[in-house]
Amino acid sequence: MSASARPRDTAPGKAEDALSALTALVRDDLEACNRVIIERMQSEVALIPQLAAHIVAAGGKRLRPLLTLAAARLCGYRGQRHIGLAACVEFIHTATLLHDDVVDESALRRGQASANALFGNKPSVLVGDFLFSRAFQLMTADGSLEVLRILSDASAIIAEGEVLQLMTQNDTSTTEAQYLQVIEGKTAALFAAATEVGAVVAEQPPAAQARLRAFGMALGVAFQLVDDALDYSADQAALGKTVGDDFREGKITLPVLLAFARGDEAERAFWRRTLEEREQTEADLAEAQALMRRHGALADTIARARLYGDQAQAALAPFPDGPEKRALSAVVEFCIERAR
């Protein structure tokens, strides 16, 4: 998946304040988590920490481990297990990023040269496998079969979502249901697992665990919807992201599906030529953006994200008020406000 296709956590802007607040709230936990990440990505095979450092240590705001840390604290957890498990979540995320970049032949990740561009595809595949294995070693050391179930299930669903994305790529007959299955798999499943694990270590009753899982799932879908809109609308200078990656790769995202469904025959021919046959000229991205504006495709994608954001807030509502709840609620807004 391209840098555009999975939510990047690096977009700066005013909405970032929400993420900064969450980060500040669990700063000690996050620093401990980062220490586990650095320690556990070591290997006597030197290329592994070199490549892992490029993607693990350098990039990202650690959104997914932050969710695990904050969810555990929200549930009143006062132990240390959530720290190692947050590192597991980040390792799984990092492994999928490495494999995505190979799959997408991406040259950029988080605005920097991707690992596969710098080190080659081969080490990227294998170091991804290593980090994935490390995640399961860490979980095994933690010793909770419930956590192992949640994160092994999430890993399988992520892979299924990625394969489904490949199958729907360049196919304008993709349905919205299939698109939703793709983004629930490739993005939201790990958000859901990240928050659920926080409830599990805090030994919450099943209802609270299910609510935190639902929170993560809805948040993840909202996040990916906004990301797919940003791929056609981002202020490249402000967000430090490339616009048009999905278009160039022929990814079928909701903005495309809405514009395609609402377009006339000539417009559908445009989408088929550019996304299915991948015959694109310099002017085509601007034309795609114009068609999306004409049909309100980006605005409606963001509106859809808001609905999922509301679901996330509703799942959070029954938890007792406090700084963690407010910070998690603000993260939902952060995910959607990125689109401004």
Q: Is 313 in the site for a second copy (CB under 8 A)?
A: no
Q: With respect to a second copy, which residue has the nearer C-beta, 24 or 156?
A: 156
Min. distance of Cβ 120 from a second copy in angstroms? 8
Query: Measured between alpha carbons, how far is 148 from 185 in angstroms, rounded to an integer?
Result: 18
Q: Is 258 in the site for a second copy (CB under 8 A)?
A: no
In the block, residue with structure tokens 């034309």: 287
Containing H/E element for 19? helix 16-25
Candidate ranges 6-14, 156-164, 215-223, 284-292; the one touching a second copy (CB under 8 A): 156-164
Q: With respect to a second copy, which residue has the nearer C-beta, 15 or 131?
A: 131
Q: Is 237 in the site for a second copy (CB under 8 A)?
A: no
**Strands in 65-170 per DSSP E:** 108-109, 112-113
Q: With respect to a second copy, which residue has the nearer C-beta, 52 or 297?
A: 52
Min. distance of Cβ 116 from a second copy in angstroms? 11
Candidate ranges 157-165, 208-216, 309-317, 323-331; the one touching a second copy (CB under 8 A): 157-165
Min. distance of Cβ 295 from a second copy in angstroms? 30
Concatenating the DSSP letter of every residue in 251-284 gives: ---HHHHHHHHHS-HHHHHHHIIIIIS----TTH
Q: With respect to a second copy, which residue has the nearer C-beta, 139 or 221?
A: 139
* Angstrom distances, CA of residue 257 to CA of 91, 175, 189: 32, 8, 22
Among 167, 238, 269, 307, binds a second copy (CB under 8 A): 167
Q: Is 140 in the site for a second copy (CB under 8 A)?
A: yes
Q: Is 184 in the site for a second copy (CB under 8 A)?
A: no
Residues of span 50-89 touching a second copy by CB under 8 A: none
Among 62, 73, 134, 338, binds a second copy (CB under 8 A): 134
Count of alpha carbons within 13 Å of 103, Cβ hemisphere only? 19
Q: Is 201 in the site for a second copy (CB under 8 A)?
A: no
Size of the site for a second copy (CB under 8 A): 43
Candidate ranges 45-53, 197-205, 217-225, 232-240; the one touching a second copy (CB under 8 A): 45-53
Buried-state track 166-183, b at ≥16 Cβ within 10 A, e below 16:
eebbbebebeeebbbbbb
Among 89, 103, 230, 339, binds a second copy (CB under 8 A): 103
| Residue 108, both tokens | 């950029």
Q: Is 170 in the site for a second copy (CB under 8 A)?
A: no
| Residue 178, both tokens | 């299939």
Query: Measured between alpha carbons, how far is 102 from 50 in angstroms, rounded to an integer?
Result: 17
Q: Is 166 in the site for a second copy (CB under 8 A)?
A: yes
Min. distance of Cβ 43 from a second copy in angstroms? 6
Q: Which amino acid is at 106?
A: S
Min. distance of Cβ 129 from a second copy in angstroms? 4
**Strands in 120-231 per DSSP E:** none
Asked if 223 and 193 touch (Cβ cutoff 8 Å), the reply is: no
Min. distance of Cβ 321 from a second copy in angstroms? 35
Give the three-class secondary structure for 268.
helix
Strand-pair partners of 112: 109
Asked if 160 and 185 touch (Cβ cutoff 8 Å), the reply is: yes
Q: With respect to a second copy, which residue has the nearer C-beta, 88 or 327?
A: 88
Query: Measured between alpha carbons, how far is 309 from 221 in angstroms, rounded to an integer?
Result: 9
* Angstrom distances, CA of residue 70 to CA of 67, 82, 196, 273, 283: 5, 9, 11, 46, 45
Give the CA dihedral 227, 148, 202, 89, nearest 10 degrees.
-30
Q: With respect to a second copy, which residue has the nearer C-beta, 64 or 99?
A: 99
Candidate ranges 79-87, 93-101, 217-225, 328-336; the one touching a second copy (CB under 8 A): 93-101
